[in-house]
A = this chain, B = another copy of it.
């Protein structure tokens, strides 16, 4: 069989990306493989390599959807909030989403480049957008601060929140019993911002 022409290249790509997320959520992130994705959409594995560079490219593009959905959600959720409140809302919502549909985020957090290749720049740009959202709020919060300080603080606070989310999703944080992750994030954001604002 060949030359079915049932779908355009774009449709096929969308189908494959859907399949990645479906498999990750249904069977776990470890189950995602070229053969499994191909099977899920009713094609041969080789076909995927006409659409994607390799399996990393495929998974990275699927993860972009997850991050993109997050970005949209954060923008929506922080409309008409004060800057302080907005940063905390974003952080908590990041954690909440990560914990809610955990497997989809496991795919994001636990994925590593198969051949040690560097993460492509278009993917980094996506996460840069997240930093950007935080920067926006920090500018509103402290308009007098220099741009470089805003950038630094945004990266600091978001890396920190990311650290908590990551350890939470990968189950490496349950070491002392009754410490809720949400309280960690709250403490982190509030105390950091409190300190940051009072300096300089």
Chain A interface (Cβ < 8 Å from any Cβ of B): 28-30, 110, 112, 114-116, 118-119, 124-125, 127-128, 131, 148, 151-153, 155-157, 159-164, 166-167, 170-176, 178-179, 183-184, 187-188, 190-196, 198-199
A184 contacts B171, C-beta separation under 8 Å: no
B163 contacts A184, C-beta separation under 8 Å: no
**Which single member of B29, B118, B163, B196 contacts A171 (CB below 8 Å)?**
B118
Residues of chain B within 8 A (CB-CB) of A164 are: 156, 159-160, 163
Bound-state Cα–Cα, A112 to B167, Å: 12
Bound-state Cα–Cα, A175 to B188, Å: 23
Oligomeric state, in copies: 2
B176 contacts A155, C-beta separation under 8 Å: yes
Bound-state Cα–Cα, A153 to B112, Å: 29
Most chain B CB within 10 A, of A115, A179, A198, is at A179
A131 contacts B28, C-beta separation under 8 Å: no
B167 contacts A159, C-beta separation under 8 Å: yes
Bound-state Cα–Cα, A119 to B173, Å: 11
Q: Which are the 6 A-B pairs with shortest beta-carbon distances?
A: A163-B163, A160-B160, A191-B195, A194-B195, A195-B195, A128-B175
